[in-house]
Amino acid sequence: MIASFICLIVIIYIVRLFSLQIGDEKYKEHAESNALLRRIIYPARGLIYDRKGNLVVFNQPAYDVMLIPKDMDKSFDSIAFCKVLGIDMPELRRLFDDMKNPRRNPGYSAYTPQKLISHLSQEDYGRLQEKLYLFPGFFIQKRTVREYAYPCGANILGNIREVGAKDLERDDYYRAGDYTGDLGVEKSYEKQLRGHKGVEILMKDAYGRIKGKYENGRHDVAPESGRNLTLSVDMDLQAYGEQLMQGKVGAIVAIEPSTGEILCLVTSPNYDPSLLVGKERGKNYRMLRDAPGIPLYDRALQAAYPPGSTFKPTQGLIFLEEGTVTTSTMYPCYHGYINKLRVGCHGHASPIALRPALQTSCNAYFCWGFKNFIDKRGTTPAAQFDKWKNWMVKMGYGYRLGVDLPSESRGFIPNVDFYNKSYRGPNWSANSIISVSIGQGEVLATPLQIANLAATIANRGWFYTPHIVREVADTVLDSSFRQKRSPGIKKEYYDVIAEGMRMAVLGGTCRGANLPGIEVCGKTGTAQNPHGKDHSAFMGFAPYHNPKIAVAVYVENAGFGAAYGVPIGSLIMEKYLTGTISPGRKGVEERMFTSKTFTASGTKH
């Protein structure tokens, strides 16, 4: 009995000793921190280039003040410290409070390096480096911050920010005080850009002073720089698009049809990406968040608009593929669709076939086609609408396309359940939802989806998933961006739609897109807006044969598609294809540069 009791006591002591010496990380951390300092060496973040090889985003050195609280001298001279860095005592107290705040700095430990101050200026770094010996426990951590060669493309590039609690939970790569990509390619390609950290193990004496490398650096790990990115974007075209959209609210998206590479992705209002770098980042972020027009909102990807008449090519394709119409089918237009209700239209020849209906943007033609498709005899409107929706999804509407940027919207294509709920049962027909046939009603699309439709028509029936990164150094581009996607509609029907869009430029609603020496195909859109003036939209591609660029333009509250959508879209195409604007169109360019449909006060004209 006594022997058993003694054995039990011995076992308890052994377990406890093992726990203290081997299993308890706290004591291990404490013991190591007395003699060694593991200093993280941050890798250089990958550089970003545009499609022409121009350097767009690069790195500059930055310095953070780090502190191991346990090693801080009890007689720390806070007044001298403030004097060196040009701050006051309340500011220093706030910095210490933030450092110890578990919400701001999860995982705080007095035994490990903690960040006290971010982004020292070169002058402050120099002064503190000279006086650092006066402040035991403090050291300077070298990092890099982003610099931008262009004051544009902020929605594409994104920025970097300090990690938060959720970042620390999701990825054990990070520790408190680290930085991560936020918005744009900085976020979507964070793992490729950030590289791998290194570590330097240094010896300390009893006073916490650095005495040199532990075992001559035998256990050090060198950092591995992040991978460089080459964007598909032409930054000169991006800058030009942003200039055209000054004073306006909306977006421009241009895609190279043969590759799916995005040539420009403009949102307006926009901002200079350098605003979100350095000490002023938080202040500038709040300013941009609250600014009129919300510059942080990427309308090219996130805004879901009624596509208006840019939607009509999709309807023509469905009607042809399903046998609802042929190229010779004629529908009447008496200044609109009249069949128990009326959808207005402007004056043109009647009856009208598909190609001239695209040329003149006839509402009645697409309303009649939609009615005959949805109300087809021998089936139900619900069954036909399911077919319609499936075709729309295959053409890239209603779901995210999968672009390699965060926060893409899916737009909205209603389904049968939506209308059954709206009409309290299946008692609805084509007339009930006729507005969707002309891109109004419940249908919503992003400018990216509209541009992708233009690219699909340009290719005569297929597209690649639009993407913003052309190449990641030393790796292969994601296979999803190298696989052709086809809606499954015959090429011959895309030829018909392309011909109708060419006719629209030669003598229809897109005459303003007629460029000297370039065969442009286009489709206007004037999207009704219940909250104010109509939206101006354009969708097109060029050249007609062997297309090099597909474009979508959307300008909020700007009126007819021909007023802003067409001239801006045609200028983007001309600039990309020729590198300049012809003398005869300089007046159009100047008008787009200077005209405003939105002011900082929020007033629309």
**Residue 601 banded pLDDT, cuts 50, 70, 90:** very low
d(CA 265, CA 251): 7
Q: How big is the chain, counted in residues? A: 605
DSSP-assigned states of every residue in 128-155: HHHHGGGSTTEEEEEEEEEEESSS--HH
Nearest to 449 by CA among 534, 561, 552: 552
**Residue 158 banded pLDDT, cuts 50, 70, 90:** very high
pLDDT exceeds 90 at position 462: yes
d(CA 27, CA 20): 7
CB burial class (10 A; 0-12, 13-18, 19+) of residue 418? middle
Q: How many Cβ atoms are within 10 Å of 427's Cβ, its own excluded? A: 10
pLDDT in tens, 477-536: 888 999 999 999 999 999 999 999 999 999 999 999 999 999 999 999 998 877 778 899
Sequence-separated (6 or more) residues with CB below 8 Å from residue 489? 317, 318, 320, 321, 391, 461
* 3-class DSSP assignment, residue 373: helix
For the ranges 137-141, 149-153, 201-205, 494-498, the lowest mean pLDDT is seen at 201-205
pLDDT exceeds 80 at position 30: no
Mean pLDDT of the chain: 90
pLDDT in tens, 115-127: 898 888 888 888 9
Sign of CA dihedral 79, 82, 86, 91: negative
d(CA 252, CA 103): 40
d(CA 330, CA 353): 5
C-alpha distances in Å from residue 217, one per residue of 32, 68, 202, 203, 545: 16, 21, 8, 10, 63
Asked if residues 189 and 11 have their Cβ atoms less than 8 Å apart, the reply is no
C-alpha distances in Å from residue 291, one per residue of 241, 511, 533: 21, 36, 22
* Partners of 141 in the β-ladder: 64
pLDDT exceeds 90 at position 220: no
How high is the pLDDT of residue 602?
A: 41
* 3-class DSSP assignment, residue 167: helix
Does residue 27 or residue 581 have the better pLDDT? Answer: 581
How high is the pLDDT of residue 178?
A: 87
Q: How many Cβ atoms are within 10 Å of 520's Cβ, its own excluded? A: 27
Asked if residues 153 and 49 have their Cβ atoms less than 8 Å apart, the reply is no
How high is the pLDDT of residue 142?
A: 85
Q: What is the mean pLDDT of residues 328-347?
A: 92
pLDDT exceeds 60 at position 293: yes
* Strand duo 48-49 + 229-231: pairing: parallel
For the ranges 173-187, 225-239, 310-324, 361-375, the lowest mean pLDDT is seen at 173-187
**Residue 111 banded pLDDT, cuts 50, 70, 90:** confident
How high is the pLDDT of residue 171?
A: 92
pLDDT in tens, 365-424: 999 999 999 999 999 999 999 999 999 999 999 999 999 999 999 999 999 999 999 999
How high is the pLDDT of residue 292?
A: 92
% of the chain surpassing 90 pLDDT: 69
**Domains of the chain: residue spans and CATH:** 33-71+82-99+113-231 (3.90.1310.10), 235-594 (3.40.710.10)
pLDDT exceeds 70 at position 548: yes
How high is the pLDDT of residue 600?
A: 45
∠508-448-519 over CA atoms, to 5°?
Answer: 35
Q: Is the pTM of this model over 0.75?
A: yes
Nearest to 361 by CA among 526, 216, 245, 233: 526
